[in-house]
Amino acid sequence: SYLEGSLLASGALLGADELARYFPDRTVAVFVATWNMQGQKELPPSLDEFLLPAEADYAQDLYVIGVQEGCSDRREWEARLQETLGPHYVLLSSAAHGVLYMSLFIRRDLIWFCSEVECATVTTRIVSQIKTKGALGVSFIFFGTSFLFITSHFTSGDGKVTERLLDYTRTVQALALPRNVPDTNPYRSSPADVTTRFDEVFWFGDFNFRLSGGRAAVDALLHQGLAADVPALLQRDQLLREMQKGSVFKGFQEADIHFLPSYKFDIGKDTYDSTSKQRTPSYTDRVLYRSRQKGDICPVRYSSCPGIKTSDHRPVYGLFRVKVRPGRDNIPLAAGKFDRELYLLGIKRRISKEIQRQQARKTQSSSTVCTVS
């Protein structure tokens, strides 16, 4: 029964048979990315490097993009995402908290297997008129596995580690999820920590943890460019130090870092902060994950996008394989809803650009002069 299906019922929409049809190995491909856009109005001419990394060996099933200090035209940003991802993906959910944005795109044929999508927010800078610091959480159940995605912007400043720890604590305690959608395993949940109430959790954003030791010491390790001593840099990383102490992101993991610090760049250039402030290059932008069942989340790639230079931060993304379990048909379903208006806008733009490319090729070929004798 679609209304009250058992876990293994034949014909259950969220059951094992249907899951096996779409995912024989019961794993989905998830793309998670974070980018502090610095409020810049100008968007990159192309988002291919960001959303379609050449290193990906397979198409993604779910795209989750969180931005901090987002551009003023959020709709245009989402239209560019839809245009880049193409007709096989739809916008399942879009949420905002001030200038924190999160967009969830899913394979178009998978929208029927999602619960309602719920979102919640936490403000960590109460006095601010514009919500620039805080957290935005989005959650839903896919088949029988619950997902929570949180994007955050923590307190800035080299020495404000304590304030960032307080931002984390406030978020896990105050983020009110799930609401109508049931907890898939309430016996392993805690009312004091939202991340314990979901099977798979991804927390990503501009956490603002810095590299300690000063600009000169970090520059000395960076002078080799791409061959820089990343392990030596990470020994100075405030976030890793606090995670090892158990004071933040309890139970979370991070894939190995093999890229250069994502902050702070001169806009449009590959040089780190050359202003009088001389801010220390740091790994402020991170993607972390935790799961209820050990080994459910397998990182495939973790990298940055050095070619996107419209902000003082480089985007950072992770590719993951995530185990999914069959579920019951007694949850509130999304019923195939997605942003159709955005979908049509994105597809029209793709068609228009393709027509322009074809016309340009025709013009180029017709301008060639040749003679036959």
Residue 373 is assigned to a structural domain of this protein: no
Containing structural domain, residue 39: 16-361
Instruction: Report yes or no: 79 and 343 within 8 Å, Cβ to Cβ.
Output: no
In total, how many domains does the chain have?
Answer: 1
Q: What is the pLDDT of residues 129-155, one digit of tens each?
A: 556 789 999 999 999 999 999 999 999
pLDDT band at 56 (very low <50, low <70, confident <90, very high): confident
The answer to whether residue 68 scores a pLDDT higher than 80 is: yes
pLDDT band at 5 (very low <50, low <70, confident <90, very high): very low
Q: Concatenated DSSP letters for 324-372?
A: -----S-S-B-TT---HHHHHHHHHHHHHHHHHHHHHHHHHHHT-----
Residue 306 is assigned to a structural domain of this protein: yes
Strand ranges (DSSP E) for the chain? 27-36, 62-68, 89-97, 100-107, 118-123, 134-142, 145-153, 200-206, 285-291, 297-304, 316-323
CATH number for 120? 3.60.10.10
Q: What is the mean pLDDT of residues 227-249?
A: 94
Residue 94 is assigned to a structural domain of this protein: yes
Residues in the chain: 373
The answer to whether residue 54 scores a pLDDT higher than 90 is: no
**Average pLDDT for the chain:** 92
Single pTM value for the model: 0.93
Residue 300 makes CB contacts below 8 A (sequence gap 6+) with 29, 56, 57, 319, 320, 321
> What angle separates helix 74-85 from helix 340-366, to the nearest 10 degrees?
60
Q: What is the pLDDT of residues 198-219, one digit of tens each?
A: 999 999 999 999 999 999 999 9
Residue 10 is assigned to a structural domain of this protein: no
CA-CA distance, 21 to 146, in Å (whole number)? 20
Both structure tokens of 167: 């931002």
Residue 4 is assigned to a structural domain of this protein: no
pLDDT band at 11 (very low <50, low <70, confident <90, very high): confident
How many H-runs (helices) and E-runs (strands) does the chain carry?
8, 11
| 3-state secondary structure at position 164 | helix
Q: What is the mean pLDDT of residues 26-45?
A: 96
Among 153, 150, 163, smallest CA distance to 130 is for 153
Both structure tokens of 52: 């379609």
